[in-house]
Amino acid sequence: MSNSIALVTGANKGIGIQIARQLADGGLTVYVGSRDAGRGQRAVDEIAGDTRLLVLDVADEKSIAAAAEQVPSLDILVNNAGIMVGNETPPEASVEAFRRTYETNVFGVLAVTNAFLPVLRRSAHPRIVNISSGTGSLTWSSGSEFSFSAGGGAAYRSSKSALNALTLFYAQSLADEGFKVNALAPGLRRTDLNDRAAASDGDPAEAAAGAVALALLGDDGPTGEFRSWDLTDVPW
């Protein structure tokens, strides 16, 4: 798949820039999605290889439509852009925090995926990777060994649970067309996502390698699954 074309949303920093870099290192053409042209161009300049800036705000319908017009063919879509707004439990949280979170993490993925589906459908090996989170696993959130604060980060975590459901439904809807649609739990990584991530020593490149593996799945690969960065199964 070295002559494939990929788009990574939110690829100007964090896990996204590492995914874009590794795909470009593999010889793919990579659209570096960024809502800010300056930040995106800096990422393009930093990554060697065949990379192109694509200005794309996943929470803005006009931006999505304009971006889709600039991409005539596409094999791989990595829905990586994501935000975390606050760390509240539902009784403490504002509806506004949920709305903002869902606009990017859920509605953004739906809107971007649907906008790029026409070009993905022309690919011989279409792949979609949704960057989710282990904190969105309802099994891991409810088991006796769960390691997340009870009910905390409810807006973010439930947005990733919804993203997991979307992943499954896209996989089922597109299975007959040869799509592979999977979700990745990247593990805790040192990025700007939140204070916990920023203070961690998790290498974002290690998580990116898991996303790249799902992006480059062969036709016999799985679809509709939730995998960790090392490709082990994560329970829904």
- Find out whether 56 and 33 touch, Cβ atoms under 8 Å: yes
Given 102, 156, 170, 180, the catalytic residue: 156
Catalytic residue status for 31: no
Assign 228 to helix, strand or coil: strand
CB of 16 to ligand NAP, least distance (A): 5
Part in contact with ligand NAP (CB under 6 A); list of ranges 33-41, 113-121, 164-172, 220-228: 33-41
Residue 212 binding ligand NAP, by CB under 6 A: no
How many residues of this chain interact with ligand NAP, rule: CB under 6 A?
A: 29
CB neighbour class for 64 (10 Å; exposed up to 12, middle 13-18, buried from 19): buried
27 closest CA partner among 205, 208, 212: 212
Looking at residues 104 to 163 of the shown chain, list those that interact with ligand NAP (rule: CB under 6 A). 104, 108, 131, 133
Distance of alpha carbon 233 from the chain centroid: 17
Part in contact with ligand NAP (CB under 6 A); list of ranges 21-29, 86-94, 140-148, 192-200: 192-200
Q: How far apart (Å, rounded) are the C-alpha atoms in residues 98 and 184?
A: 22
Looking at residues 42 to 101 of the shown chain, list those that interact with ligand NAP (rule: CB under 6 A). 56-59, 80-83
77 closest CA partner among 140, 119, 48: 119
| Residue 133 or 223 with smaller CB distance to ligand NAP | 133
Q: What is the dihedral of CA 143, 146, 149, 150, to 10 degrees?
A: 10
| Residue 139 or 175 with smaller CB distance to ligand NAP | 139
Catalytic residue status for 160: yes
Part in contact with ligand NAP (CB under 6 A); list of ranges 32-40, 164-172, 173-181, 217-225: 32-40
Q: How far apart (Å, rounded) are the C-alpha atoms in residues 149 and 19?
A: 29
Given 13, 31, 102, 160, the catalytic residue: 160
Within 49-96, strands assigned E span: 51-55, 76-79
- Give residues in contact with ligand NAP (CB under 6 A): 9-10, 12-16, 35-36, 39, 56-59, 80-83, 104, 108, 131, 133, 186, 188-189, 191-193, 197
User: Mind telling me the catalytic residues?
Assistant: 156, 160
